[in-house]
């Protein structure tokens, strides 16, 4: 696996990964998948704000995952706190791609002077953090659970909680 900075040429693969997740999972609270034009605009906004945006490639050079950070909140006092996002193609789950992307993202954020990283993780209300793959990933990287917002979203006819995890960089 190779991790590198994302470019606009990666948008079709990124949009494909995200689209499947939006339509089949609860990780995102979006109800319909954005098209490539929208995904390009989102990437440009992140890159224009000087945040890192990374992709993971398999041995054949295909993008199989991506990760980025964005502003946790828009007000200036939050400027050193970022929120992370990571998605991996379902065909590549269980291969430590998300962990590799997150490690690289954490290192890049430290280099850029960010002080805190927040993980905002959608989950079913009955699930403990130990049953949520994204929470397990974040915990393995030193994130701590700092809160849980109960039944704040409804997707695929299910109420969802949001687990908040934080790491000091």
pLDDT tens string 83-102: 999 999 999 999 999 999 99
Closest of 119, 122, 136, 116 to residue 67, by C-alpha:
119
In the 3-class helix/strand/coil scheme, how is 48-105 assigned residue by residue? HCCCCEEEEECCCCCEEEEEEEEECCCCHHHCCEEEEEEEECHHHCCCCHHHHHHHHH
Closest of 15, 150, 153, 29 to residue 89, by C-alpha:
15
Radius of gyration (Cα) for the chain, nearest Å?
15
pLDDT tens-digit map of 109-159: 999 999 999 999 999 998 888 899 999 999 999 999 999 999 999 999 999
pLDDT of residue 127: 85
pLDDT tens-digit map of 39-55: 999 999 999 999 999 99
Confidence of residue 108 (pLDDT cuts 50, 70, 90): very high
Query: What is the token pair recorded at 91?
Result: 């065909």
pLDDT of residue 145: 97
pLDDT of residue 87: 97
Domains by residue range for the chain, with CATH: 2-168 (3.40.630.30)
pLDDT of residue 91: 94
How many degrees, rounded to 5, is the angle at CA 106 between CA 100 and CA 110? Answer: 145
């Amino acid at each position: 696996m190779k991790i590198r900075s994302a470019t606009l040429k990666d948008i079709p693969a990124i949009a494909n990964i995200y689209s499947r997740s939006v339509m089949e999972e609860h990780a995102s609270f979006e109800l319909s998948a954005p098209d490539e034009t929208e995904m390009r605009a989102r990437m440009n906004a992140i890159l224009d704000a000087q945040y890192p945006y990374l992709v993971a490639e398999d041995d054949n050079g295909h993008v199989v995952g991506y990760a980025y950070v964005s502003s946790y909140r828009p007000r200036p006092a939050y400027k050193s706190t970022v929120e992370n996002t990571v998605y991996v193609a379902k065909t590549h789950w269980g291969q430590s791609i998300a962990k590799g992307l997150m490690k690289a993202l954490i290192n890049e954020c430290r280099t850029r002077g960010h002080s805190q990283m927040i993980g905002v993780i959608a989950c079913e209300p009955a699930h403990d953090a130990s049953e949520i793959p994204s929470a397990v990933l974040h915990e393995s990287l030193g994130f701590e659970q700092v809160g849980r917002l109960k039944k704040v979203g409804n997707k695929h006819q299910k109420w969802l909680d949001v687990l908040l995890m934080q790491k000091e960089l």
